[in-house]
Amino acid sequence: MKSGRSSSGGKPSTPPGSSRAATDAALSTVFREEAGKLTAALVRFLGDFDLGEELVQEAVVSALEHWPKEGIPDRPGAWLMTTARRKALDHLRRDANYNRKLSLLVGSPVSEVAGESDDRLRLIFTCCHPALAREAQLALTLRAVIGLTTAEIARAFLTTESTIAQRIVRAKRKIVESGIPYRVPEGHELTNRLDEVLAVLYLAFNEGYLATAGEAAARWDLANDAEWLARLLVRLMPDEPEPHGLLALMRLHLARAGSRFDAEGGLMLLRDQDRWRWDRGAIADAGRLLDQAAAMGRPGPYQLQGAIAACHAMAGSWAETPWPEILILYERLLEYWPTPVVRLNRAIAIRNAMGPAPALRELELLQSALDGYHLYHATRAEVLRDLGRPDEARAADQRALELTTNPAERALLEQRLG
Amino acid sequence: MKYMLLFVDEVDWERVPEAESRVMFEKVGQWWGQHSQAGLIESGAQLQPARTATTVKFNGGKPVATDGPFIETKETIGGFAIVNVPDLDRALDLAKSWPAQGKVEVRPLVERGEA
């Protein structure tokens, strides 16, 4: 399997130490634009999710073999469609039941593929159907909507190709056998189902974004792929505010990505980051997205998280961070997501807005829920240090160190422990 | 498509005060009536409590009848419905409207003779 993918997003989209060929970037762009469209169209024509998705995947693999040698064709979408059709013929010859599908396939002009935005939405909602397990939703979305190969997905999740292949096969089988519809949900159903889609995109983004400097660049690509998907969703659903919020959130993280690590690959805390290296254009752009979303008058958790990230990104320095505003935003976020991790983040806002004593009181309440979470103990250590209790702070840092395997985070904690 | 909705009780209805269980059974009755009339339910039944169950096990190929349900848990199968709806989303809608709560497992039926 060739590695035919690279990030094509704006700067700073490449982690330190990785370099990608221009053709790889071009291929990646083409697949993102064409593969999902084609899959969506084929699934609709054939009425068969499994077959439609399989055909496009085979066409993508074929393109990865031919294009680097022969150049990208003038109309890559048409090339993929022709190849997918030829692959279809091979499949269909083996299976007499597919005669009806064959006639559908032959009768489908390529031009119908273009501009079918509903089709791609259908594909996204089907891949993210709540009847599928979250990890299956993730793998299927990346493969069917973005056109990543099974090998690429495996690299991004640091797992084996056969694990991902099995996950995808099972998910497709469930779609077909249990009658998951190929449809964009309507009315009240849409809100819940959209939450599911947003959760999948956010998880994909975090998987990639939280990758450390030394890890496979494929993981980093995942963050850019997720951002691309969020952008697609905003384009397809311009009247829904939450996709705007999620896209803004991702842009704000990416805008600061370049300064997350120092020259040696060490983790830089937000407080210590060089704010001159942040992408001001992307930050302003995210601000506009949040304004557009707010104008729709339907707040939600992704808009709130976007607003929190914007508070950090727009502050001229760590000292200028508007903590009282951030605290209010966390209070509102808790109404949607009353989770211990959101409360931990609120405790950090309390520490900076009101001081360490009330923050510690809040942290003590989270003890049982977050005892196994390294950031809980790292946060507690900082608050204890503020309060002049260095021995307890040391013990908390020690506990945090025991709980994380992330090399960059370990290095930071070890430095603190001296 | 045809699906089986398998209704799983998490409470023992025989131990629930009668006034309370009567209200629930009325709601369940309405649910059956409404969806049968709409042509969505093909068949189904409420089952006698799990204490009435007898399970046949094949120990080394030899059938042996034993007292009790096939799996010993607090959750018991209370009944089932066979529904005929266009897709999983509609089957899930029906399951979500089940008044007795507990759990509802939704499984497609194997349908033969389809091209």
Chain A interface includes B56 (CB < 8 A):
no
Q: Is the ipTM of this complex over 0.95?
A: no
Distance CA A171, CA A137 (A): 8
Distance CA B79, CA A73 (A): 59
CA dihedral over B108, B112, B114, B115, signed as positive or negative = positive
A177's tokens? 């056998």
Chain B interface includes A131 (CB < 8 A):
yes
**Quick check: bond before A12 cis, omega within 30?**
yes
Select from A168, A185, A56 the least CA-distant residue to A122.
A185
Using an 8 Å CB-CB cutoff, list chain B residues near A179.
1, 3, 87-88, 91, 108
pLDDT by residue (tens digit) across B22-62?
Answer: 999 999 999 999 999 999 999 999 999 998 999 999 988 89
State residue A110's pLDDT score. 46
Distance CA A300, CA A295 (A): 13
Could you state, in order of their start, the residue ranges of all structural domains in chain B?
Answer: 2-108
Contacts of A316 (CB under 8 A, 6+ apart): A275
Residue located via tokens 């064409």:
A34
E strands of B1-115, at which residues?
2-9, 41-46, 54-59, 62-67, 76-84, 103-108
Distance CA A230, CA A163 (A): 26
Per-residue pLDDT of chain A (418 residues), as tens digits, is 334 454 443 333 434 333 345 667 777 888 888 888 888 888 887 778 888 888 888 888 888 888 888 888 888 888 888 898 888 777 777 765 556 665 665 555 444 444 456 788 899 999 999 999 999 999 999 999 988 999 989 988 888 999 999 999 999 999 989 999 988 998 888 988 999 999 999 999 988 887 765 666 667 788 999 999 999 999 999 999 999 999 999 999 999 988 888 877 777 888 889 898 999 999 999 999 999 999 999 999 999 999 999 999 999 999 999 999 999 999 999 999 999 999 999 999 999 999 999 999 999 999 999 999 999 999 999 999 999 999 999 999 999 999 988 777 888 899 888 8
Chain A interface includes B115 (CB < 8 A):
yes
Preferred mutation among B88, B92, B104, B112 to probe A, highest tally of A CBs within 10 A:
B88
Q: Enumerate residues 79 to 108 of chain A having a beta carbon within 8 A of any beta carbon in chain B.
A: 97, 100
Fold classification of B2-108 is Alpha-Beta Plaits (3.30.70)
Cβ–Cβ < 8 Å for A381, A397: yes
Contacts of A324 (CB under 8 A, 6+ apart): A353
Distance CA A233, CA A289 (A): 13
The verdict on a CB contact (< 8 Å) between A181 and B3 is no
State residue A64's pLDDT score. 85
State residue A321's pLDDT score. 96
CA-only gyration radius of chain A, Å: 23
Half-sphere exposure of A415 (CA within 13 A, CB side): 9
Q: Give all domains of chain A, ordered by start, each with its CATH number.
A: 1-109+116-237 (no CATH), 239-321 (no CATH), 323-418 (1.25.40.10)
State residue A113's pLDDT score. 45
As a dihedral over the C-alpha atoms of residue A115, residue A117, residue A118, residue A121, rounded to 10 degrees, the angle is 150
A320's tokens? 């200028």
Contacts of A187 (CB under 8 A, 6+ apart): none
Task: Provide the number of CB pairs (under 8 Å) joining chain A to chain B.
Answer: 27
Half-sphere exposure of A383 (CA within 13 A, CB side): 27
Distance CA B93, CA A208 (A): 35
CA-only gyration radius of chain B, Å: 16
A59's tokens? 């066409």
Distance CA A36, CA A29 (A): 12
- Separation in Å, CA of A333 to nearest CA in chain B: 27
Supply the DSSP symbol for A261. Answer: B
Beta bridge partners of B44: B81
A356's tokens? 């360490």
Contacts 24+ apart (CB under 8 A), A282-288: A282/A10, A282/A251, A282/A252, A282/A254, A282/A255, A283/A251, A283/A252, A283/A255, A283/A310, A283/A313, A283/A314, A285/A251, A286/A247, A286/A248, A286/A249, A286/A251, A286/A252, A286/A255, A286/A310, A286/A313, A287/A248, A287/A314
Distance from first CA to last CA of chain B, Å, rounded?
A: 14
Neighbours of A66 (CB within 10 A): 13
Pairing of strands B103-108, B2-9: antiparallel
